[in-house]
Amino acid sequence: PQGHEFSLSSSPNPFNPKTTVSFSLAQGGRVRLDVYNVKGQKVKTLVDGVRAAGPQTVDWDGTDDRGSAVATGVYFFKIWTKDGQLAKKSALVR
C-alpha cells in the first residue's frame, strides 16, 4: 500500500461562514483535532477518536463547543496523532 503523509490544512482561509479542515494520517489510530483562539484557549474539538490512514476532512462552522458563534479573528487548528502533532492558522472574518 502507498504511504500517506501526515498533514493539516484548511480552506478557504480566511473563511466565513465555514472552513474545511483537511488532514492526512500516515497511519490509522487515535486522532484529536482542536480549535484554539489566539489566547491559547480551546474553543472546539472537531475530532476525538480513531481514524483510518489517509486523507480526511471535517468542517468547522465558526462555533465553539457550546454552539455559540466565535468572534472574528485568528484561530489555530491543532492535531495530535501517534505520528506527532501539527498546527495551522486560519482567519475567521464575520
For 7-60, the pLDDT digits (tens) are: 999 999 999 999 999 999 999 999 999 999 999 999 999 999 999 999 999 999
What global pTM score does this model have? 0.93
Q: What is the pLDDT of residue 3?
A: 66
For 63-90, the pLDDT digits (tens) are: 999 999 999 999 999 999 988 999 999 9
Q: What is the pLDDT of residue 83?
A: 82
DSSP secondary structure of the chain: ------EEEEESSSBSS-EEEEEEESS-EEEEEEEEETTS-EEEEEEEEEE-SEEEEEEE-SB-TTSPBPPSEEEEEEEEETTEEEEEEEEE--
Q: What is the pLDDT of residue 1?
A: 47
| pLDDT higher than 60, residue 2 | no
